[in-house]
Amino acid sequence: MASPNITVDEVRNILAEVIEVLESADYAPKLDEAKEAAGNEMLKMMQIVFPMVVQIQMETIKRHGFSNTREGIVQFTQLVREMESDSEVARLHSRIRSHYLPPVSISSNVDTSL
């Protein structure tokens, strides 16, 4: 169980560690391969890529006192969301999410004649 006194700086450091692992030579090629397999389909992203990202997060947060369980990742994610008023926490969290959320394109060719 993590300390309730975890600071914004500690959360920033943990998020930066997660990004470092996600973008490392060990994991980046595996993630790229998984993303390619998922294509731009959200369901496949959630089935293939998201679990890989969560596993990396779990292994990182356990080194900082969180449990290496679903409960631990939920607790950490809630803490991050509470701290997203800090622009750096928000930026880092968004960068992690970009690994499993496909880019959203908004078409300017929307048919409004319906």
CA distance 34 to 104: 18
Which of 58, 53, 42 lies closest to 99 in space, CA to CA? Answer: 53
27-55 per-position pLDDT tens digit = 999 999 999 999 888 899 999 999 999 99
Residue-range domain boundaries for the chain? 14-97
64-108 per-position pLDDT tens digit = 999 988 899 999 999 999 999 999 999 999 999 998 886 665 555
Dihedrals phi, psi of 35, to nearest 5 degrees = -65, -40
End-to-end CA distance of the chain, in Å? 53
pTM of this structure = 0.82
CA distance 32 to 69: 25
- Cβ–Cβ < 8 Å for 13, 6: no
